[in-house]
């Protein structure tokens, strides 16, 4: 999930804001998420309010379908632009209409009969969508279904970011190579093109040598590096340094002297 959201954020930054790969650096945070650093003259002077505007855009907060010409079921030219939220709404609708089954449409708020109508008219809806024709031309496809699809598209095409961190111009950002106190893993730079291949439980390990004796209170089975550990319950074990450190940082183990 975190990787997928990070890829979407990178896509928005490059296609909608026009940043190049040279402006962006990607890091694994050492814990659960990723940090995207944006550098350059265009962002150096952004204050908290300007950063909040960027956050609102990438998360889709305050999105107004009317302002994008997508306010009703008879809207035309959905996704006719190369970038921006009009195109993202198009991508979201294209994904839903082409792949969702009845249950999927119900999960985003459509009633059963409306969901069945879309499934049964999938080809015609896709034809209209790709030809920039109104979806309302399909008999029975009404404003409520259209609105649910727009809202699904907004959510699915947005990127999740930490609003507090992004807007705080005084916050210190973890330095690359340092350890995260909740995992003992390193903050590691990742080539943008390799983000899908990155494995934090292999590529962010700080200690590759030595063992440590620990008293483990409780820990589920986990994999670190190329080894599998656990499950453990109230036992003293000798573990590789990285595995012992992870459990101690998670407060599931204590050093055994």
Report pTM.
0.87
Question: Given this model, what pLDDT does residue 75 score?
Answer: 85
Question: Given this model, what pLDDT does residue 178 score?
Answer: 96
- CATH fold, domain 207-255, is Ribosomal Protein L9; domain 1 (3.40.5)
Question: Given this model, what pLDDT does residue 76 score?
Answer: 81
pLDDT in tens, 12-36: 999 999 999 899 999 999 998 899 9
Q: pLDDT band at residue 147, thresholds of 50, 70 and 90?
A: very high
- CATH fold, domain 1-60+159-199, is DNA primase, PRIM domain (3.90.920)
Architecture of domain 63-157: Orthogonal Bundle (1.10)
Q: pLDDT band at residue 240, thresholds of 50, 70 and 90?
A: very high
Among the listed ranges 61-70, 150-159, 202-211, 236-245, which one has the minimum average pLDDT value?
A: 61-70
Three state DSSP letters for the chain: CHHHHHHHHHHHHHHCCCCCHHHEEEEECCCCCEEEEECCHHHHCCCHHHHHHHHHHHHCCCCCCHHHCCCCCCCCCCCCCCCHHHHHHHHHHHHHHHHCCHHHHHHCCCCHHHHHHHHHCHHHHHHHHHCCCCHHHCCCCCHHHHHHHHHHHHHHHCCCCCHHHHHCCCCCCCCCCCECCCCCCECEEECHHHHHHCCHHHHCCCCCCCEEEEEEEEECCEEECCEEECCEEEEEEEEEHHHHHHHHHCCCEEECC
Question: Given this model, what pLDDT does residue 81 score?
Answer: 60
pLDDT at 250 > cutoff 90: yes
The domain limits of the chain are 1-60+159-199, 63-157, 207-255
Question: Given this model, what pLDDT does residue 67 score?
Answer: 87
pLDDT in tens, 176-228: 999 999 999 999 999 999 999 999 999 999 999 999 999 999 999 999 998 99
| 68 vs 141, more confident | 141
pLDDT at 82 > cutoff 70: no
């Amino acid at each position: 999930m975190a990787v997928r959201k990070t890829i979407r954020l990178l896509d928005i930054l490059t296609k909608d804001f026009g940043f190049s790969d040279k402006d962006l650096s990607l890091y694994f945070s050492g814990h659960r998420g990723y940090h995207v650093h944006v550098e350059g003259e265009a962002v150096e002077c952004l204050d908290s309010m300007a950063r909040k505007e960027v956050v609102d855009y990438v998360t889709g907060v305050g999105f107004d379908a009317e302002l994008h010409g997508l306010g009703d079921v008879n809207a035309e030219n959905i996704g006719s632009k190369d970038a921006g939220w009009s195109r993202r709404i198009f991508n979201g609708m294209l994904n839903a209409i082409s792949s969702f089954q009845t249950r999927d449409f119900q999960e985003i708020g459509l009633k059963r009969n409306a969901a069945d109508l879309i499934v049964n008219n999938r080809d015609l809806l896709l034809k209209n969508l790709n030809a920039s024709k109104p979806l309302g031309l399909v008999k029975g496809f009404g404003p409520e279904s259209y609105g649910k699809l727009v809202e699904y598209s907004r959510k699915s095409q947005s990127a999740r970011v930490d609003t507090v961190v992004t807007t705080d111009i005084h916050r210190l950002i973890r330095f690359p190579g340092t350890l995260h106190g909740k995992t003992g893993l390193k903050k590691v730079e990742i080539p943008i093109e390799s983000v899908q291949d990155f494995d934090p439980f292999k590529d962010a390990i700080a200690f590759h040598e030595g063992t440590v004796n620990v008293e483990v209170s409780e820990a589920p089975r986990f994999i670190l590096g190329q080894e599998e550990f656990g499950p453990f319950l109230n036992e003293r074990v000798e573990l590789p340094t990285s595995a012992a450190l992870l459990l101690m940082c998670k407060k599931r183990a204590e050093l055994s002297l």
